Structure 1
């Protein structure tokens, strides 16, 4: 049986991070074509995704974008791909691909290391329609 999320792009994020939650909310508000689903890395679904790929399952400092059966991106490449998928003016972010991943990931890592200081720790509560886009398994 095909799951409702199997044809979506799935964004895995740190569910306890204010910056990550802000980013999820930002994508939700711009996802006019209903292309994304979301799962926290701490969830059973997130843990399974990480474990199946031999990725870190205890430290949640990396954003992942996964298209089931096709690919997954990490860190800055995930951010750029999300912008590209959103389309419109956000496709302009694709110019960031000219920067080698090892350099753009250094910027990503700098933000990641300081994200708790940067975060406005207000809790994000998705509305009823947005809740449908979260994988809770």
Structure 2
């Protein structure tokens, strides 16, 4: 049975909170279930396009591109939590709250997030201790094609 393609977490590489979230994810995703892509790079833009989303959505929204379609804002956070081990998986219970409430909280936090220019916004700014792991998790155009069932895409 073929394995499922890994979801791609598309994030704003110039966002301090987003970079922190990705660092948090890499530290806790020992099974390497998620790939990452900065929204300003060709892979992030391709993932957003494949999900039918405009590129500007990732300027204020975390997106998890999955084989079933995109997860945005609080659904994206819950999707990541659900893919991790205990105790983080328990955070997916936030889905019990109405999406309107969850996304209002998400938008409140997103509006106040710290901005910092990344050396390369297409892949974010990894903490020194995570550089190798971070780079190993960067999605490729082939990963996007596999996720969307489009076959292999040229790099």
Asked if these proteins are the same fold (TM beyond 0.5), I'd say yes
CA distance in 2, matches of 1:10, 1:93: 19
| Pairing 1:45-124 to 2, within 5 Å after superposition | 45-58=43-56, 60-67=59-66, 69-116=67-114, 123-124=125-126
TM-score normalized by structure 1? 0.82
CA distance in 1, matches of 2:54, 2:86: 34
TM-score normalized by structure 2? 0.73
Offset at 1:56?
3.0
CA distance in 2, matches of 1:127, 1:101: 34
Q: Does 1:20 align with 2:48?
A: no
Offset at 1:54?
4.0
CA contact (8 A) 2:126 2:134 kept: no
State the aligned residue count. 128
CA distance in 1, matches of 2:65, 2:55: 16
Question: Structure 1 pair 53/131, CA: closer, same or farther in 2 (3 Å)?
Answer: closer
Partner of 2:55, secondary structure, is: coil
Partner of 2:94, secondary structure, is: helix
CA distance in 2, matches of 1:41, 1:28: 17
CA contact (8 A) 2:48 2:65 kept: no
For 1:76-110, what per-residue CA distance to the aligned partner results, in whole angstroms no more than 9, with x for missing partners?
Answer: 01101101110210121122111111110010001
CA distance in 2, matches of 1:15, 1:132: 16
- Report runs of 4+ in structure 1 exceeding 4 Å deviation: none
Q: What does residue 128 of structure 1 align with?
A: 132
Is there any run of 5+ residues in structure 1 with no aligned partner, and where?
1-5
Is there any run of 5+ residues in structure 2 with no aligned partner, and where?
119-124, 142-155
